[in-house]
């Protein structure tokens, strides 16, 4: 990475962590394209997964009192299974395929969003959970599908953020483990993650504080703003 790009990357990292702590997800919306542009698609996606995994440990601790373990377990298990499969495919896939998969992932999310999911929320949640994991493991980001899968659990704002944090943690840790074993992530990448710990702590604190202040209605707006952000990335890639 060119030295002049470091400030841009660190700003993007901080913004991603703060958004993720506020909404429970959305960090990959900022981090994946930034690191993919600066490091290349595969290396950027892999490092983004490592950084988001580390940040999700901080998020889970921050929201430890509102973690809906019982309700979130089915989604967590399906996301982990889908992520493992997608991450394995990612290792052997040509870089161009991975780039196309990112665009197709958003396309799938866009199509899902046009369906009337209210009638089929309980049925659709497991399907979306597995699909979000597979998309995340293969392309590095699954925000829209993950958001829809967890929102279908009908949780209040704080428990929704807690569930999203749990699901994100499991998905990103799964990807990180697979890609470390495949040598896509090295000791140098882990040093970068360690250097970002202060950013994680500050950004998570600020994001959680913002979440507390905006209330249920404000959070609903933030949630769908993040969803629209993913859709915007889809349109930009067309």
Say if CB 85 and CB 132 are below 8 A apart.
Answer: no
Buried b (16+ CB within 10 A) or exposed e, 163-200: bbbbbbbbbbbbbbbbbbeeebbeeebeebbeebeebb
The whole-angstrom distance between residue 46's C-alpha and the CA centroid of its chain comes to: 12
* pLDDT number for residue 78: 83
The pLDDT tens digits of the residues spanning 179-235 come to: 898 888 888 889 988 988 999 999 999 989 998 888 878 887 887 787 677 656 555
CA gap 67, 82 in Å, rounded? 22
CA angle 75, 202, 17 (to 5 degrees): 40
Q: What is the DSSP letter of 40?
A: -
**Per-residue pLDDT tens listing for the chain (238 residues):** 566 677 878 888 899 899 888 888 778 778 887 888 788 877 888 888 899 899 999 999 998 988 888 888 888 888 788 778 777 777 666 756 655 665 665 556 556 555 554 454 555 566 666 666 666 666 556 556 677 777 777 788 888 888 888 888 888 888 888 889 888 888 888 998 898 899 999 999 998 999 888 887 888 788 778 767 765 655 555 4
Phi/psi region, residue 26 (left: phi>0; alpha: psi -120 to 50; beta: rest), is left
Q: Which three-class secondary structure state does DSSP give residue 83? A: helix
C-alpha separations of 204 from 16, 23, 81, 214 in Å? 10, 11, 27, 16
């Amino acid at each position: 990475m060119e030295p002049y790009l470091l400030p841009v990357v660190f700003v993007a990292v901080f913004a991603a962590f703060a958004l993720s702590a506020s909404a429970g997800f959305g960090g990959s919306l900022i981090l994946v394209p930034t690191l993919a542009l600066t490091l290349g698609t595969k290396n950027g996606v892999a490092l983004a997964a490592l950084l988001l995994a580390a940040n999700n440990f901080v998020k889970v601790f921050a929201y430890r009192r509102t973690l809906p373990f019982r309700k979130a377990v089915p989604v967590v298990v399906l996301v982990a299974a889908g992520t493992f499969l997608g991450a394995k495919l990612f290792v052997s896939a040509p870089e161009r395929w991975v780039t196309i998969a990112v665009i197709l992932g958003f396309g799938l999310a866009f199509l899902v969003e046009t369906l009337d999911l209210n009638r089929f929320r309980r049925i659709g949640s497991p399907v979306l959970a597995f699909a979000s994991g597979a998309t995340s493991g293969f392309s590095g980001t699954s925000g829209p599908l993950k958001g829809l899968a967890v929102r279908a659990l009908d949780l209040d704002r704080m428990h929704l953020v807690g569930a999203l944090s749990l699901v994100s943690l499991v998905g990103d840790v799964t990807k990180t483990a697979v890609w470390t074993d495949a040598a896509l992530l090295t000791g140098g990448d882990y040093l970068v993650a360690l250097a970002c710990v202060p950013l994680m702590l500050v950004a998570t604190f600020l994001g959680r504080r913002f979440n507390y202040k905006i209330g249920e209605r404000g959070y609903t707006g933030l949630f769908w703003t993040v969803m629209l952000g993913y859709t915007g990335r889809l349109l930009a890639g067309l």
